[in-house]
Amino acid sequence: MTIRRVTLPPRGEYRFELENEEKLSIRLVPSTGDAEIFGSSLISSTSSDRWYNFGEEAKAAICSWSGCELELAGSASVEYLADSLSPTFGAYTNLHLYLEQERLKARNELRSASRETLEDIKDRALRAANPTVPLEVDSKDDTGVAELLTGGEKSGQAIYENIGQGPRVLVVGPESAGKTSLANLLANYALKSPAVCEIPHMKAQEDNENKRDGEAESALTGWWPVIANLDPSAGAPTLPCTFSLLPLSPSPSVSLTTASPAYPFGLTLPTTGLFTTTSLNPVSSIPAQTLWLGKEDVRTNEVHSKRVVDWLGAALERRLARDYRARCSGVIVDSMGVNSKDARKGYSFLKHVVRTLYIDTIIVLGHEKLHIELTRLFASATPGGEASAASSASSSTHKPIQVIKLPKSGGVVELDETYKARLRSLQIRNYFYGGSVDKKSTSAKTGADHVASSLAPAVVDDRMQEATNNEGGPTDGTPLGGLPPLNPLTTSIPFDLLEIYRVGQESMAPTSALPIGMGRTVTETQLLKLDIVNSLADQNSILHNVLALVEPPHGGGGPGQPDSQTVPPPEDDAIIGANVLGFLHVVGIDTQRKKLNILSPNPTKRLPSKTALLGTLDWQDA
């Protein structure tokens, strides 16, 4: 394998697109300048051992502010130097500087508030945000937890408080506009900021909580933002068909990896399938908060999608109420692609997201019409909409929602459905089997030797140096993203061990199509329990499907008892809003022995829950 060298001019950008089976390794030549990939700085080394490996059809761009030289090993079907200035050096950086100012304002506001005020906000938020409290759901009125967030009549308490709130950014645009890439860039710039978001009079308490969470005690420079993924087709940071919150922490080696499109927001635990592994270096020591949506399009049963957003919003407020560094660092929301269906519905789902998550800045990428319509829609709105008036009188005055149009990068790649299907299959496979290793590698490691930082470059040790020099520098034995291979097993469980639910019916006619005077027997947010013991149709519906194991409300039913055997029994709404603990794949059904054959990433451990949710995430292990 030969090594070639590419020279990036100041404010230049090198772009590449990999096809299947292609791999590319990149090294920043020392003392030649700086380089970054979606805001994550490349580190140079004089020992010629720092290579950044890319594969699995990755598509990315490397920018340089001052110019640099890169060494490349491997092949790429498409690679070129951009002939126009990247938005990274203009519009995107200006947006980061604006968000930086807002974070500093929020931090200073927290520093000037009394400890008693902050403790009061935290206590009231945690009480009001208790997800075990049954909430009413009205499919005609998308409120529910939204009322709880703003201190409506049902809650009696206000979760959201404007004191010390950092910027909350929603990135929107059409499909293949670069939304996830921009979210990565903003997060990486926030992580490597020189600011310190420590709140002195809350430091002692935060240190104690961080010890319980496993975070470092020492103060670090950089912000602690939260990424919210509302694109269920992205599969980040867990699997497709989910919504998630990912709290980030600015450890020295942390940045969002882009080595493989299977990990667009980096490697996270425990949702990689490694329930107990602690030797990895994930993007955050705090597990992602993941909720099961069960579909890859929010427009399918939009009432249910809004309800899951409600629960995600409650989880976000609960998180920000106890973590003041994350509170002033803000939230970056990645969303699904907007299309003409959303316009015909008046952008109903987007409006719900903006209101529920208290978005104060909307970034529209590369779509002038969408920018005009959203500007008109939120012309006089404030974060949280009209309900923001319900916030505490001690809160600061809300600013109007900012709608900002930014250009999309010229390097954005249009992704077809075939590519998306391959990516979805790869994400599921990596969850159960771990990271992939080049089949040609003769030096692949196993077990703990495979564990490498998902965020740092692949480092070639002394044993591999000779082979590395012969092959052009990079090692073939390091799994992309640093995720080690797993050894899952297919095991059998009784039919009646799991309680499996589906949200609503598989297909529902619109309300307008029902006979006059007739109502639905099953609502959009009602859970239907599958009878896999007696129903052949229910057995077929779970075959080759991925099941989400969710945290059982009220702690579950105990050993030998179904999770529904609690007093009081769990409400459908509480199960919908329950956090995902892991995933199983139903590979076969043994009707004679009445057992399910399941694939588990960690078969030696007891299942974390006996409550499972079924969606449309099917997969066959080829």
3-state SS class at 572: helix
Strands (E), 173-268: 226-230, 242-247
3-state SS class at 219: coil
- Domain contains 554: yes
Closest CA to 289 of 357, 242, 333, 251: 242
Q: Model-level pTM?
A: 0.85
Same domain for 430 and 468, yes or no, is: yes
Same domain for 80 and 108, yes or no, is: no
Domain boundary among 389, 406, 423: 406
- Domain contains 269: no
- Domain contains 274: no
Q: Where is pLDDT greater, at 558 or 367?
A: 367
Same domain for 586 and 496, yes or no, is: yes
The CA distance from 114 to 88, in Å, is: 39
Closest CA to 106 of 426, 320, 411, 251: 320
Same domain for 12 and 26, yes or no, is: yes
Pairing, β 289-292 against β 50-54 = unpaired
- Is it the case that residue 506 has pLDDT exceeding 80? no
Domain boundary among 406, 434, 461: 406
Contacts of 325 (CB under 8 A, 6+ apart): 197, 198, 199, 206, 223, 224
Is residue 181 marked as binding? yes
| CB-based burial, 173-187: b 16+ in 10 Å, e otherwise | bbeebbbbbbbbbbb
The alpha carbon dihedral of 126, 132, 136, 138 has a sign of: positive
The confidence score (pLDDT) of residue 285 equals: 60
The CA distance from 541 to 610, in Å, is: 18
Contacts of 397 (CB under 8 A, 6+ apart): 162
- Domain contains 262: no
22: domain CATH number is 2.60.120.1030
Closest CA to 586 of 617, 564, 550: 617
* pLDDT band for position 308 (cuts 50, 70, 90): very high
Looking at the DSSP assignment, which residues form a beta bridge with residue 590? 595
Contacts of 519 (CB under 8 A, 6+ apart): none
Is residue 178 marked as binding? yes
Pick the range with the lowest mean pLDDT from 154-168, 200-214, 306-320, 420-434: 200-214
Is residue 19 marked as binding? no
159: buried, middle or exposed (CB in 10 Å: 19+, 13-18, 0-12)?
buried
Is residue 177 marked as binding? yes
Tens digit of pLDDT for each residue in 177-189?
999 999 999 999 9
Contacts of 237 (CB under 8 A, 6+ apart): 227, 229, 244, 246, 263, 264, 265, 266, 268, 271, 283, 288, 290
The confidence score (pLDDT) of residue 73 equals: 93
The CA distance from 250 to 218, in Å, is: 11
- Domain contains 278: no
The CA distance from 315 to 469, in Å, is: 49
* pLDDT band for position 253 (cuts 50, 70, 90): low
Closest CA to 143 of 473, 387, 381: 387
Same domain for 600 and 526, yes or no, is: yes
Whole-number average pLDDT of the chain: 79
Residue 370 sits in which domain range? 88-203+216-249+291-406
Pick the range with the lowest mean pLDDT from 65-74, 215-224, 533-542, 592-601: 215-224
575: domain CATH number is 2.40.30.330
Q: What percentage of the chain reaches a pLDDT higher than 90?
A: 50
309: domain CATH number is 3.40.50.300
Same domain for 155 and 59, yes or no, is: no
Residue 343, phi-psi category: left (phi > 0), alpha (psi -120 to 50), beta (remainder): alpha
Same domain for 196 and 138, yes or no, is: yes
- Domain contains 609: yes
Same domain for 402 and 466, yes or no, is: no
Domain boundary among 406, 434, 449: 406
Whether 577 and 308 have beta carbons less than 8 Å apart is answered as yes
Chain centroid, CA 296 distance in Å: 14
Looking at the DSSP assignment, which residues form a beta bridge with residue 73? 3, 25
Structural domains of the chain, count: 3
Q: Where is pLDDT greater, at 312 or 213?
A: 312
**Encoding tokens for residue 407?**
């250009």
3-state SS class at 200: helix
Same domain for 394 and 532, yes or no, is: no
* pLDDT band for position 135 (cuts 50, 70, 90): very low
Same domain for 312 and 375, yes or no, is: yes
Mean pLDDT of 211-227: 69
Tens digit of pLDDT for each residue in 4-33?
999 999 999 999 999 988 999 999 999 999
Is residue 176 marked as binding? yes
Pick the range with the lowest mean pLDDT from 233-247, 491-505, 519-533: 519-533
Looking at the DSSP assignment, which residues form a beta bridge with residue 80? 15
- Domain contains 116: yes
**Which range, 163-167, 267-271, 452-456, is most confident?**
163-167
Residue 493, phi-psi category: left (phi > 0), alpha (psi -120 to 50), beta (remainder): beta
Order of strands, sheet of 24-28, starting from the edge strand that comes earlier in the sequence:
3-8, 68-74, 24-28, 50-54, 458-459
- Domain contains 256: no
Same domain for 196 and 64, yes or no, is: no
3-state SS class at 511: helix
Same domain for 507 and 533, yes or no, is: yes
Pick the range with the lowest mean pLDDT from 121-135, 331-345, 401-415, 508-522: 508-522
Closest CA to 616 of 262, 301, 269, 349: 301
DSSP, res 480: G
The alpha carbon dihedral of 333, 506, 620, 614 has a sign of: positive
Contacts of 178 (CB under 8 A, 6+ apart): 365, 366, 408, 409, 412
